[in-house]
Chains A and B, each alone.
Chain A
Amino acid sequence: TQLLEQSPQFLSIQEGENLTVYCNSSSVFSSLQWYRQEPGEGPVLLVTVVTGGEVKKLKRLTFQFGDARKDSSLHITAAQPGDTGLYLCAGARRGSTLGRLYFGRGTQLTVWP
């Protein structure tokens, strides 16, 4: 059983479209991170959210942490082919050590020109 459920698992869209990826759990997290992974490479950290209700923006990417710190979303505006990759959410459980991250299965995003 995955501690973090990501949806959708696959997403294929045209350049210029908007999209939202979800990361949900029944557990409370002290922090939640989003990574992007390209083929043949390791995950690269995009953002960390630590406060319930927190919203962070990174250019066309908007990240939100749920008020109860059990879920998060990633919204991409006007997607570009360079956004293609595997998007992973990862959380540090409340009460656990910061270094113990639980990863979701990821959302494979493909943006077509």
Chain B
Amino acid sequence: EAGVVQSPRYKIIEKKQPVAFWCNPISGHNTLYWYLQNLGQGPELLIRYENEEAVDDSQLPKDRFSAERLKGVDSTLKIQPAELGDSAVYLCASSLEDSGASYNEQFFGPGTRLTVL
């Protein structure tokens, strides 16, 4: 079974340029997450989708960040314009939410390492 796929793996851009990341979750997973991970830190949630609906985007800087999950499968995360402080690894994860489960298992992709110059 294929895991979570992310592209590109690496991206170098100049500040003020736009950038987009793409994520393909594990087949059948209804929930998709975008995380930001700074060097030496744990992942921080940016946005969580249940199917097509963004159910938790409270940590997403909406002035420059946007995300979409059309058809409830693939997702894109966009930054426009990028700032120096956006340099980080952007991780995508997916899970199968089960209302009867006592916990949720998230599967992560390899991430996109963004460098803003």
Q: Are B93 and A100 in contact (CB under 8 A)?
A: no
Q: Are B42 and A104 in contact (CB under 8 A)?
A: yes
Q: Are A98 and B110 in contact (CB under 8 A)?
A: no
Is B28 among interface residues, defined by CB-CB distance under 8 A? no
Q: Mark A72-113, 1 if CB is under 8 A from B, else 0.
A: 000000000000000010101000011111011110100000
CA distance A43 to B109 in the complex (A): 8
Q: 8 Å CB contacts to A: which residues of B16-73?
A: 31, 33, 40-45, 48, 50, 55-56
Q: Are B42 and A30 in contact (CB under 8 A)?
A: no
Q: Are A106 and B45 in contact (CB under 8 A)?
A: no
Which residues of chain A come closer than 8 Å to B56, judged between CB atoms?
97, 99-100
Q: Are A42 and B103 in contact (CB under 8 A)?
A: no
Most buried by A among B33, B93, B104: B104
Q: Are A103 and B42 in contact (CB under 8 A)?
A: yes
CA distance A9 to B40 in the complex (A): 9
Total interface residues in chain B, CB < 8 Å = 29
Which residues of chain A come closer than 8 Å to B31, judged between CB atoms?
99
Closest chain A residue to B58, Cβ basis: A100
Known: A99-B31, A99-B97. A106 touches B42 (CB 8 A): yes
Which residues of chain B come closer than 8 Å to A30, judged between CB atoms?
102-103
Q: Distance in Å from the Cβ of B52 to the closest Cβ of chain A?
A: 15
Q: Distance in Å from the Cβ of B63 to the closest Cβ of chain A?
A: 23
Q: 8 Å CB contacts to B: which residues of A24-56?
A: 30-31, 33, 40-45, 48, 50
Known: A43-B108, A44-B108, A99-B48. A106 touches B41 (CB 8 A): yes
Q: A44-B108, A88-B42 are in contact. List 16 more A-B contacts (CB 8 A).
A: A31-B102, A33-B105, A42-B93, A42-B108, A42-B111, A43-B43, A43-B108, A48-B103, A97-B56, A99-B50, A99-B95, A99-B106, A100-B45, A100-B48, A101-B106, A105-B40
Q: Which residues of B contact A (CB under 8 A)?
A: 4, 31, 33, 40-45, 48, 50, 55-56, 91, 93, 95, 97, 101-111, 113
